Chain A
């Protein structure tokens, strides 16, 4: 709030029409020592306190005064009454508290106990004084006064201790709520950490999987490229039968290492429990291994030891039960002459 806004809000403050946050803003401003606003508040406060003069007077019950006057007067030196001359004016802000008294915080049992104890101390002190005055002679009056002063001092000390205890209680309360908040935050952070760790494990597992498949591919590529590096390598191409017209394959053979590499494409997906089987055919077909298809309908197979390639007349691929069979039983999908 600007100073102008604060100044404008003073009549509303005086008549009690401001919200709590606005009241606090004005009180903070008044505590800063703004003389103009102090003067304005005093004026408007007087106006507000004169409002009841505009009402039709109502007379209180006749018995009320007697009731009030017969109530025990508080002893000089009780918590709210200060020793004359010890402090002639209010601390800053207390006037505001009078205007809008804060809601008293619930007092704890130790505090109530302290209050009760203080009351008891005063009563006992008073009783002791009465007993003294009754039993002792007038010569003891000096002593009585001393004791009275001592009681007053003790009472003042109890009041100080009470205020101190209340302050500490509030401080402990504040600390406790801060601690609770920190604990909640910590628990949240811990939960997040556990979640992150789990996510990290997932990522790590995926990475390992990728890494091993990459390594496998790299190995295959290396072997595959080895066939092209060798000028003696031979190639046989296979074409699709009636069963798979668009399919095709080729076989690379390295006569030095006796390794062969099959690469097939556009083959139809296999039913469950079936595999493709490669046959090297001389007089009769000899199994050269079984293979499946990857997601791109491609088949790859490395044949580690293909002997007597030069004697072979043709190669064929059939569909066979899982694990392969000694002699072909299924339909031919690919075939190629050497």
Chain B
């Protein structure tokens, strides 16, 4: 299993998904090995609760198992699909927490100006591609001006719309939109050379 875990999350082959569609449990296990750390990291970042993140991941993989036949490689990479699904479900949980009157954000994020500092040190258990991508991404995020990091963070990890972000920060809507656009454009430029050909980047 260790060799499988060293395969990159960023380079899950669409073929692997085809095997999962056919009901191949080994392929499903490999999909888990390649993607679970990234998806758990994301779920934990959004929910700030390891137990809830694990519960969410269990649901997400079961949903993947059920819906995988619907995956269309023409619309994005397998990891983009998995990340999108996980984020979406985690944000749903966050909102349902809010609707139950529970605390929406973990204490560490009550000061949205403070972004979690990305860890750029190499990880021996991480696949080479993922390690490179992680370092590129972390560097690119750190190079963004703090208000842009904050806007991206509030949209992506807190599930807030630009209107909600503007209201929370007491900033004009146009400023918030521009911050998000600029941040995304810079990140896109930073990722340009790390992505495989044909990705359009």
Contact = CB atoms under 8 A, between A and B. Distances in A.
Interface residues on A, range: 35 or more
A16 B159 contact: yes
Given A51-B152, A78-B66, A84-B22, A43 B88 contact: no
A34 interface: no
Contacts of A49: 76-77, 79-80, 83-84
Given A65-B29, A84-B21, A95 B72 contact: yes
A53 B36 contact: no
A95 B81 CA distance: 9
Contact of A60 (B10, B57, B185): B57
Contact of B61 (A8, A68, A84, A90): A68
A37 to B, nearest CB: 12
Given A46-B199, A68-B58, A60 B180 contact: no
Contacts of A64: 36, 40, 54, 57-58
B38 A57 contact: yes
A92 to B, nearest CB: 10
A46 B74 contact: no
B195 to A, nearest CB: 7
Contacts of B119: 55-57
B21 A43 contact: no
Contact of B161 (A19, A39, A55, A101): A19
A74 B65 contact: yes
Interface in B127-172: 130, 133-134, 137-138, 140-141, 151-152, 155-156, 159-163, 165
Given A52-B83, A53-B134, A12 B181 contact: yes
B116 interface: yes
A61 B57 CA distance: 11
Contact of A65 (B36, B44, B66, B75): B36
Contacts of A8: 181
Interface in A90-148: 90, 94-95, 98-101
Contacts of B138: 53-54
A258 to B, nearest CB: 95
B23 A73 contact: yes
B181 A52 contact: no
Nearest to A14: B184
A69 B151 CA distance: 37
B184 A99 contact: no
Contacts of B185: 11
Contact of B195 (A46, A54, A84): A46
Nearest to B142: A54
Interface in A19-47: 19, 39, 42-47
B175 interface: no
Interface in A63-98: 64-65, 67-69, 71, 73-74, 76, 78, 80-82, 84, 89-90, 94-95, 98
B88 A99 contact: yes
Contact of B156 (A18, A48, A90): A48
A50 interface: yes
B15 interface: no
A101 B63 CA distance: 13
21 contacts: A12-B180, A12-B184, A15-B180, A45-B76, A51-B137, A53-B10, A53-B134, A56-B117, A56-B118, A58-B37, A58-B44, A69-B25, A71-B58, A81-B21, A84-B21, A89-B74, A90-B72, A90-B75, A95-B72, A98-B70, A98-B85
Interface of A: 8, 11-12, 14-19, 39, 42-61, 64-65, 67-69, 71, 73-74, 76, 78, 80-82, 84, 89-90, 94-95, 98-101
